[in-house]
Chains A and B, each alone.
Chain A
Amino acid sequence: MKVYIRSAGNISPQHSLDTDSFFLSRTTTSNNYFKSVEPDYDSFIDSKMIRRMSRIVKMGVTAAITCLKEAHVEIPAAIVTATAYGCLEDSSSFLRRMIEFDEKLLSPTAFIQSTHNTVGAQIALMLKCHNYNNTIVHRGLSFENALTESILLLKEGTRPVLVGAMDEITDDSQAILSRFGLYRKTDNRMGNIAGEGAAFFLLEKDQGKKSLAILKGLHILYKPESNKAIQHSLLEFLKEKETTLDQIGLILTSHTGNKKMDEQDKELMNSVFRNKVTFPFKSLCGDYPTASGFALWMGSVILKEQMAPFWMEHGPQFPLSNILIHHHSGNSHHSFILISES
């Protein structure tokens, strides 16, 4: 069964809600984090609903609406969302009030909105969609597992499936996660630059009038024993998908520029990815557990448009048939996503 990416919607630190803008200009950051370029949400979300929404909910809902509009689909047969951190702003707000009010008289809204499935629920409420609705929370493989579930749903005949991933940065999360050494601190240049974003995709079994790309395959790898194991796993995956490395015109890598975290990437670049055209997608969206959502969006629009963004140096050759995404989160949660021209 072929899985088609019919449409996509993406809010990220780049101007990605409008594909043309993404191809024309690149956003950079001088901070230790990469925050999303956000639209005027009032033009996307009903004012009665938006008043309770935190940033991640607005990002997720807007990306989902954009995706559905692009495909002219009003109600999907299933909504599957993925997030690692969930709604951090609401969680912080709720916890702060617990301390402030001595665990009494807590405001219900922040609590209700702090659950990981808030974005999926708000999309369903907005669309009045009573169909299947699930949220996958699985650290750096949240989005990949949401994709797996979506593919299984399509196989069962549930179609189309709206699948998306979102994570946000807040002041609290940045302070805590950089203290853990996951992201860059203010006072040093080590650690990854934190990022955020929301990306949604409408998946179908057939091409329809138009589609962005074909989701050819997905492979998950948890805590590989060695770099050799990653390479072996990749080659086996490609063999299964009847695709050779030579047929892949562009590889989107998780390379971040952080020496400590990039060791595996570096080894791959010197072995299986040697002489291949690669691009480090986290330089555009920052590092966060569901950043593979951004990479899938980026790969899909490049395949659809059959051109590289103007700012991309040493881009791929066109026509371009296949793009491989290698995502990893903290060197422990790895995934390979193979997409091809539709």
Chain B
Amino acid sequence: MSLNMDKLMYKLKEQIIERLHLKDLKPENIGDDQPLFVEGIGLDSIDALELIVLLQQEYNIKLSNAEDGPRVFHSVRTIADYITANSGALKVTT
């Protein structure tokens, strides 16, 4: 696994915690492959909307097909994969 991917996933975890006010969680508590919705972290439909806005604001990536949502937002890794696949020259700053 590339260092860039690790950094991106860590950054995503920080952004998810901040954006969704998950004050009881730290990035270390969210597994890379842990499901984000329902049985995993327990996110819901409003959180899904927040994640869509997060992708647009922070990564300038628009989820073109709403049906891709469940697959893209399954876990931190799937979001990171989507970002990597849909951004030209991604730079992760920490």
Report A's interface with B, CB cutoff 8 A: 47-48, 51-52, 101, 105-109, 112
| Nearest A residue (CB) for B42 | A48
Is A51 touching B22 in the complex (CB atoms < 8 A)?
Answer: yes
- Are A107 and B21 CB-contacts (below 8 A) given A48-B42, A52-B46, A112-B46? no
In the bound complex, CA of A48 to CA of B47 (Å): 11
- The interface stretch among B2-10, B49-57, B85-93 is B49-57
- Are A51 and B46 CB-contacts (below 8 A) given A105-B57, A106-B53? no
Is B24 touching A107 in the complex (CB atoms < 8 A)?
Answer: no
Q: Tally inter-chain residue pairs, CB-CB below 8 A.
A: 24
In the bound complex, CA of A106 to CA of B53 (Å): 7
- How many residues of B sit at the interface, in one of the four size bands? 10 to 19
From residue A32, how far is it (CB to closest CB) to chain B in Å?
30
**Residues of chain B with a CB closer than 8 A to A109's CB:** 46, 49-50
**Residues of chain A with a CB closer than 8 A to B49's CB:** 108-109
Is B21 touching A52 in the complex (CB atoms < 8 A)?
Answer: yes
Q: Indicate which residue in A47, A48, A101, A107 contacts B50 across the interface (CB closer than 8 Å).
A: A107
Report B's interface with A, CB cutoff 8 A: 19-24, 42, 46, 49-50, 53, 56-57
Is B24 touching A105 in the complex (CB atoms < 8 A)?
Answer: no
**Residues of chain A with a CB closer than 8 A to B56's CB:** 105
From residue A196, how far is it (CB to closest CB) to chain B in Å?
22
Known: A47-B24, A105-B57, A108-B53. 6 other contacts (CB 8 A): A51-B23, A105-B56, A108-B49, A108-B50, A109-B49, A109-B50
- Are A108 and B57 CB-contacts (below 8 A) given A51-B21, A51-B22, A52-B21? no
In the bound complex, CA of A109 to CA of B23 (Å): 16
| Nearest A residue (CB) for B56 | A105
CB<8 Å pairs between A and B, sample of 9: A48-B42, A52-B21, A52-B46, A105-B53, A106-B53, A107-B19, A108-B46, A108-B53, A109-B46
**Residues of chain B with a CB closer than 8 A to A112's CB:** 46
**Residues of chain B with a CB closer than 8 A to A108's CB:** 46, 49-50, 53
| Nearest A residue (CB) for B62 | A105
**Residues of chain A with a CB closer than 8 A to B21's CB:** 51-52
From residue A44, how far is it (CB to closest CB) to chain B in Å?
16
In the bound complex, CA of A52 to CA of B21 (Å): 7
In the bound complex, CA of A48 to CA of B22 (Å): 8
In the bound complex, CA of A105 to CA of B59 (Å): 12
**Residues of chain A with a CB closer than 8 A to B50's CB:** 107-109
**Residues of chain A with a CB closer than 8 A to B57's CB:** 101, 105
| Nearest A residue (CB) for B21 | A51
| Nearest A residue (CB) for B41 | A48
**Residues of chain A with a CB closer than 8 A to B20's CB:** 51
| Nearest B residue (CB) for A108 | B49
The interface centre, meaning the residue of B42, B53, B56 with most chain A CB atoms within 10 A of its CB, is: B53
In the bound complex, CA of A106 to CA of B57 (Å): 9
From residue B50, how far is it (CB to closest CB) to chain A in Å?
6
